[in-house]
Amino acid sequence: MKDKIQKKMVALDTDEPIWEHVFMVHPLIVVGTREPDGSYNFSPKHMAMPLGWQNYFGCIGTPQHRTYHNIVRERVFTVSFPNPEQVVSASLTATARNARDHKPILDTLPTIPAQEIDGAFLKDSYLCLECELERIIDGFGEHCLIAARIVAAHAQECALRGHEKDDNDIVFNTPLLGYLHPGRCASIRESYAFPFPTHFKR
């Protein structure tokens, strides 16, 4: 049997950002922050992840965005994980501000209040995190890592794992929204058990 033909590899120019040349899977989240006037701002992000195995969460930010300054000032923020049916709502949170420095579309999006911090979530998200700022780590070009401690978390019951539930069924019945950078999204409902080696430990 002939060996499979090796797919050709192409060198990428690292003098420029490489991330526009291939697709990568990310979560799509909506970060909620409190504005100076007391209203709430929402912004979609995909560069986000747990920080270790404890209750810490991080996302990439930049001083060029209002979200960054709101987090620095208030030292808290919320994270909403929308489901695939909410992709348009998540997208609308990126709408440009008007002449009065306001996003009118945010007034039409359904939200629910946070419980432990001053914040709000995008309603019907399958996972909601309430976060307190731990530190901001600069030095990634014009961007930084915003690291936070999760002080409260809420999840839809149908999305929760359990001993009497099959993980495959959970993902199938409660699909996840993935952002495929650059510029695409996916509804993830088909999954497979990862083939960990025997005696594997994290």
Asked whether the predicted pLDDT for residue 1 surpasses 60, the reply is no
Model confidence at 40, pLDDT cuts 50, 70, 90, reads very high
The per-residue pLDDT of the chain, averaged, comes to: 94
DSSP string for 35-70: -TTS-EEEEEE-SEEE-SSSSEEEEEE-TTSHHHHH
Q: Indicate the pairing of strand 120-122 with strand 111-113.
A: antiparallel
**Angular region, 14: left φ>0, alpha ψ -120 to 50, beta rest:** alpha
What pLDDT shows up at residue 108? 87
Nearest to 111 by CA among 34, 189, 27: 34
Segment 109-159, tens digit of pLDDT? 999 999 999 999 999 999 999 999 999 999 999 999 999 999 999 999 999
Tokens of residue 30, six digits: 């909506």
**Angular region, 12: left φ>0, alpha ψ -120 to 50, beta rest:** beta
Segment 60-74, tens digit of pLDDT? 999 999 999 999 999
CB under 8 Å to 50, separation ≥6 — which residues? 56, 57, 58
**Angular region, 124: left φ>0, alpha ψ -120 to 50, beta rest:** left
Segment 163-174, tens digit of pLDDT? 889 999 999 999
What pLDDT shows up at residue 22? 96
What pLDDT shows up at residue 106? 85
Segment 118-129, tens digit of pLDDT? 999 999 999 999
**Angular region, 104: left φ>0, alpha ψ -120 to 50, beta rest:** alpha
User: Could you give the domains of the chain?
Assistant: 25-188 (2.30.110.10)
Segment 171-193, tens digit of pLDDT? 999 999 999 999 999 999 999 99
Asked whether the predicted pLDDT for residue 2 surpasses 70, the reply is no
Segment 14-23, tens digit of pLDDT? 999 999 999 9
What pLDDT shows up at residue 88? 94
What pLDDT shows up at residue 3? 61
